[in-house]
Amino acid sequence: MHSDPKDCLYCSNNETLHNLMIEIAPLSVSRAFLFKEQTYHGRCLVAYNGHVNDLNELSDAERNAFMKDVVRVTRAMDKVFHPEKINYGAYSDKLSHLHFHLAPKYVDGPDYGGTFQMNPGKVYLSDEEYAKMVDEMRKALNEEY
């Protein structure tokens, strides 16, 4: 299923997107976001700038640049949040825009040893807490380069 870019959450940069997540930073070929729902403390997402459905639609150079952005974000997440593991999810079943969910997992945390839930709707933070997380992620991302 391929969606129209004008109906795409990431391409239209609409209110629905901003109700779900906070933009952390533009990257080389993508954008990094922090999920507002924080059951998985530090959960982020990296969305490719172009409207493509899958990694296999990218050239080798485009794919490598996107994956470099994903790794840059996970390194920043590791530095800021210290998870035991980061789970990667690239589903796009219903929203055909290349993006990776990055869900930090902690030994005593939710779903450790299993699959993370897409939107459990359990943990929301204050504006100050989100601002602190975004600021720490921006600093860590800048230290990467």
- CATH number, residue 13: 3.30.428.10
Mean pLDDT of 10-32: 96
> What's the number of domains the chain is made of?
1
Taking each helix axis as running N to C, give the angle between helix 127-143 and helix 60-81, from 0 to 180 degrees, rounded to the nearest 10: 120
pLDDT band of 4, cuts 50, 70, 90: confident
What is the pTM (predicted TM-score) of this model?
0.94
Tens-digit pLDDT profile for residues 37-79 = 999 999 999 999 999 999 999 999 999 999 999 999 999 999 9
Provide the residue range defining the domain that includes 133.
Answer: 5-143
pLDDT at 84: 98
At residue 145, does pLDDT exceed 70? no
- C-alpha R_g of the chain: 15
As a whole number, the mean pLDDT across the chain is 94
Q: Token pair for residue 92?
A: 């796009």
